[in-house]
Amino acid sequence: MSGPPNEETATQPAGIVERLVRDDVDRKRFLKMAGSAGAASFGAFVLAACGSSSSKTTASTAATTASTATGASAASGDLAIVNYALTLEYLETEFYEKVIQSGLFKGKVGALIKDFGAQELTHVEALKGTATKLGGTPAAKPEGKFPVESATQVAELAYTVENLGASAYLGQAANIQNAEVLAAALAIHSVEARHAATLGTLVKKSITPDGAFAKPADMSTVLAAVKPFLA
């Protein structure tokens, strides 16, 4: 008789961020709310989207409730942002794993790719711990799909992915309420940007593509960019 499924083998429901990426209706509804009420609405949307066994609170009612609950709304907003970042880090980690397995890179570049992959995995563990510390559940790991065809194609994709990650963190910085969460996000943002700059040198592209000031990416832009990489 087989034992109960463990964490690695159990089928987990898609996290809310993954749902936002996959479902255009959910994403449009969320972005409309987020544009009018900021991070508190993000938390309210998460609660509403997850549902309740005893009631079916509407998203608008949840948003109103969140806007009047100062501490709770800030915490739920930060948790939602952490899980958003965690979903991106899951995908980056899986990307580097596939690149390493492909054997396309050797020597110093291969070692560099392995370092980047290990650092992305560290980001995953840190964000999972942060989500738990905030009293929430870390986002479920999505299954990714990445074209790994040639060293040049992979390096250019890595450059794009790392720049997207850096701009995604920058895009959420102003919405984070908890000082520790903000410090962690900025620390990860710096590493993502350094990855991107290093890869820019490798593929002979600009290490500062936005000039003197990095441009933040809003959530709609990031979610649309990530969608093709979900299996």
Q: What is the per-residue pLDDT for 54?
A: 42
Q: What is the pLDDT of residues 109-156, one digit of tens each?
A: 999 999 999 999 999 999 999 999 999 999 999 999 999 999 999 999
- pLDDT > 60? residue 8: no
pTM, entire model = 0.72
Q: What is the per-residue pLDDT for 220?
A: 86
- pLDDT > 60? residue 34: no
pLDDT band per the 50, 70, 90 thresholds, residue 29: low
Backbone angles phi, psi at 106, to 5 degrees: -125, 175
Helix ranges, the chain (H): 16-22, 24-37, 39-50, 59-68, 70-102, 107-133, 151-172, 179-202, 219-226
Q: What is the per-residue pLDDT for 24?
A: 63
Q: What is the per-residue pLDDT for 90?
A: 97
Contact 217, 168 (CB under 8 A): yes
Q: What is the per-residue pLDDT for 219?
A: 85
Domain assignments of the chain as residue spans, ordered by start? 16-229
Dist. CA 26–CA 186, nearest whole Å: 28
- pLDDT > 90? residue 182: yes
Closest to 46 in 3D by CA, of 161, 144, 127, 135: 135
Dist. CA 60–CA 110, nearest whole Å: 50
Q: What is the pLDDT of residues 50-101, one digit of tens each?
A: 333 443 444 444 344 434 444 556 678 999 999 999 999 999 999 999 999 9
Q: What is the per-residue pLDDT for 143?
A: 92
CATH architecture of the domain with range 16-229 = Up-down Bundle (1.20)
Contact 81, 181 (CB under 8 A): yes
